[in-house]
Amino acid sequence: MKRVGLFIPCYVDQFYPNAGIATYQLLKKLGLDVTYPTGQTCCGQPMANSGFEHLTQGCNQLFVDNFSEFDYIVSPSGSCVLHIKEHLHTEKSEEQASGIRKKVYELVEFLVDVLKVKNLKAKFPHKVGLHQSCHGQRGLLLSQMSELVAPYYSKPQELLSQVEGLELINLKREDECCGFGGTFCVVEEAVSVKMGKDRVNDHLLNGAEYITGADMSCLMHMEGILKRGNSKVRVLHIAEILNAG
């Protein structure tokens, strides 16, 4: 049986363990051999996106040490996966690093492209808004982008449509960025918050009870805004919905 290494990004590990747990349980349900290498920390993206890619050698080496042995590496975070795919390099073990760049998957793309899941047996009878995180969408091509002239598709939607009772709401701006952007959210606080407010409002105005997505970081940002506005609408990682019921 192929072995899956579970990559749980640092902030999911620390603040959103439920997203990690749901990912683990979902993969187990699908009959996979899943292991969480306990020596992992972070993909290094926060540093690299801030211009400090040169400081990420330690992180990168650690990643390679933890994950080279697996057939697949799966993670519930599009932007971390994209970072690994695009920027994981090491001085000592470049061959392994390049192997990892090819076998690392975001959860949704793994379920749709590798496992070709057609029948999830999940149940979530609620109105849900889907936030298409930019790194997942434009970087990992999880769904078609509104800017390009090409046929429509959406991998997260494909999965959510298998969830019993779930009603996906329409949005005015389907793939607008939420404004999280890693350290952008603190360096450019004013714009980041405004973007987040607008994104959240699109979901609220269209009747969402939950906002979901394949990137917990965007959801964390939107959750912060929802809570500050005393909204009852909650955020859930897509793994938690796909694992529900």
Q: Which two tokens stand for residue 27?
A: 């993969």
Least spacing, CB of residue 147 vs another protein, in Å: 4
Q: Which of 173, 205, 206, 207 binds another protein (CB under 8 A)?
A: 173
Q: Which two tokens stand for residue 83?
A: 């970072």
Name residues contacting another protein, limited to 29-48 (CB under 8 A): 36, 38-42, 44, 46-47
Q: Which of 146, 161, 170, 206 binds another protein (CB under 8 A)?
A: 146
27 is a site residue for another protein (CB under 8 A)? no
148 is a site residue for another protein (CB under 8 A)? yes
149 is a site residue for another protein (CB under 8 A)? yes
- CA 194 to chain CA centroid, Å, is 22
The partner residues of 130 in beta bridges, in order of sequence, read 212
Q: Which of 33, 69, 95, 189 binds another protein (CB under 8 A)?
A: 189
Query: What dihedral do alpha carbons 110, 135, 36, 19 form, nearest 10°?
Result: -90
Name residues contacting another protein, limited to 61-100 (CB under 8 A): 62
**Contact assessment for residue 198 and residue 176, using Cβ atoms and an 8 Å cutoff:** yes
Determine how many CB atoms are found less than 10 A away from the CB of residue 234: 15
Q: Which of 84, 33, 26, 76 is nearest to 59 (CA)?
A: 84
Q: Which of 4, 75, 138, 241 binds another protein (CB under 8 A)?
A: 138
Least spacing, CB of residue 218 vs another protein, in Å: 10
20 is a site residue for another protein (CB under 8 A)? yes
User: What is the C-alpha to C-alpha distance for residues 176 and 181, in angstroms, rounded to an integer?
Assistant: 12
Q: Which is nearer to another protein, 16 or 67 (CB)?
A: 16
171 is a site residue for another protein (CB under 8 A)? no
Determine how many CB atoms are found less than 10 A away from the CB of residue 44: 24
Stretch binding another protein (CB under 8 A), from 89-97, 156-164, 205-213, 223-231: 223-231
Q: End-to-end alpha-carbon separation of the chain, Å?
A: 27
Q: Which is nearer to another protein, 114 or 184 (CB)?
A: 184
